[in-house]
Amino acid sequence: MKIKFKIALIFTLLVTLILLLLGAAVYYFSALNRQHQFSQRLKNRALTNARLLMELDEMNKPLLKKIDSLTMNLLFEERILIYDDKNNLVYINRSEIIKPAQPDTVILNKIRSQKEYLFIKNEYDGIGTIYHEGGNNYVIVATAMDRVGLNTLSQLRKILLLSGLVGIIITVLIGYFFSINLLRPLSRINAEMNEISFQNISRRIITTDTKDELNELARTFNSLLERLETSFNNQRSFIANASHELSTPLAAVSSQLEVALLQNRSEQEYKKVLASVQEDVVHLNNLVRKLLELAKAGAGKGISLEPVRVDDILLSAVEEVNRLHPDYQVHFSFDAIPDDEALCYIYGNEELLFIAFKNIIENACKYSSSHKAWVNIEVTPGKKTIRVKDEGIGMTQEEIQKAFEPFFRSEKALTISDGLGLGLSMSSGIIRLHKGEIVVASEPDKGSLFSITLPPI
């Protein structure tokens, strides 16, 4: 079932429930009011007859019955009965009743115990009350049928049922158009999303300044599209650069072997060709390994995360760089060793963090004329901050924005080293995988400062 139908159905059910409760309340309190008013009329009639009968000496029963029969506001089938203490019938206003039925002792006892008792019997409303006269306690029972009141209730019931039915029909229509109007922005978002594809992923959903949930949803979609566009652009760039980088050593190997096979050559010439081919194969193998590591860091799948000490991994990376490159000098410092060693731990992958730290430190030394780098770590309860500083060639602001893109290398870097341009991109992916952040501050010919921030465990 579509959401608009669900909204219309729920809206209809709620309004129908409210109408039913309201109609039931109106009918119930109207019925109570009818019974109360009619009972009061009965009570007044009964007490009037009792006073006329008991307090006026000249009033006798036949005369009182005659007066009752001539009264204009006589209630329909009104019956007034007066009983003494022994449940003997003292008076009845209906002269046509010669042998009245035996008194209902249960009702009489309730009247005596409650002093006033309302009851309904066979569609007749009744009231019973106590009348004191001359030291005697008389029980007055008055019954009648409220034809006007019951007819009014019947009409009210029909009006409420008809009004409820019309109200439900109107509610269904209003609920349907209300749901359509409410979900119109969502339908627009859905239509716009269907028009966005790989070819026009730069397109965005139109949003307004209102701060409702649908606009927040549209902004979330736009944010998702921005990340997807960045990912697709990086993927295009990665594929193009990877293809170029892979084809270069392969073409070199192929051309060298082809030239070597054109004619017979001396052993020394073959050795020279094979050495050149071996160099290209090593370069190709290194490139493939870096690409696999970059893909692994970017995907983050199959990576096991466990508590690891950041300072130990960083120190291992520094020692590894010094071991692999004896001409590099890496100076390591710890601002302040915390008393609680647990602050040095994060949830991470030791192997990937080692690769990230090693790449950044190697880059700092490689592009520095003195091949020196300064590594510092600061541990606080809220975060771990690692800084890698060099005195190298530096970068412009435009180069800083592209520093973490795969295969990007500045013009100055191309003249210094034959690297692949994957180290910083790989390190950035690893840091993001660990929910960290890496930023760089740099100026041309003044060196660079890489700052890595990792969250607490």
- Quick one: fold of 3-151? Beta-Lactamase (3.30.450)
- List 372's β-bridge partners, or say none: 329
Sketch the domain layout of the chain as residue ranges: 3-151, 244-298, 301-454
DSSP summary character for residue 102: P
Question: What is the residue-level pLDDT of the chain in tens, covering all 457 positions?
Answer: 677 788 888 888 898 899 899 999 999 999 999 888 888 888 888 887 777 766 654 445 565 555 555 554 556 777 888 888 888 887 787 655 555 556 678 888 888 888 888 888 887 888 898 888 777 888 888 888 888 888 888 999 999 999 989 988 998 888 888 888 877 878 888 888 888 876 777 788 887 777 777 788 888 888 888 878 777 766 666 666 566 556 667 777 888 788 778 878 788 888 888 888 887 787 677 767 766 665 655 555 556 678 999 989 999 999 988 888 888 999 888 876 777 888 888 888 887 888 889 889 988 888 887 889 999 998 888 888 999 998 888 888 888 887 777 666 666 665 555 555 667 877 887 888 888 999 999 888 888 999 999 988 7
pLDDT of residue 370: 84
Q: Which residues contact 281 (CB under 8 A, 6 or more apart)?
A: 249, 253
CB atoms within 10 A of CB 330: 21
- Rounded CA gap, 254 and 153, in Å? 103
- Rounded CA gap, 81 and 61, in Å? 12
The reported pTM is 0.47
Rounded to 5°, the CA angle 397-403-409 comes to 105
Place of tokens 């290398």: 409
pLDDT of residue 59: 45
Residue 254 and residue 277 in contact, taking contact as beta carbons nearer than 8 Å: no
CATH of region 301-454, choose from 3.30.565.10, 3.90.180.10, 3.30.70.1380, 3.20.20.70: 3.30.565.10
Residue 343 and residue 379 in contact, taking contact as beta carbons nearer than 8 Å: yes
Q: Give which of 13, 38, 26, 312 is closest to 175, Cα–Cα.
A: 13
Total residues found in the chain within this entry: 457
CB atoms within 10 A of CB 231: 13
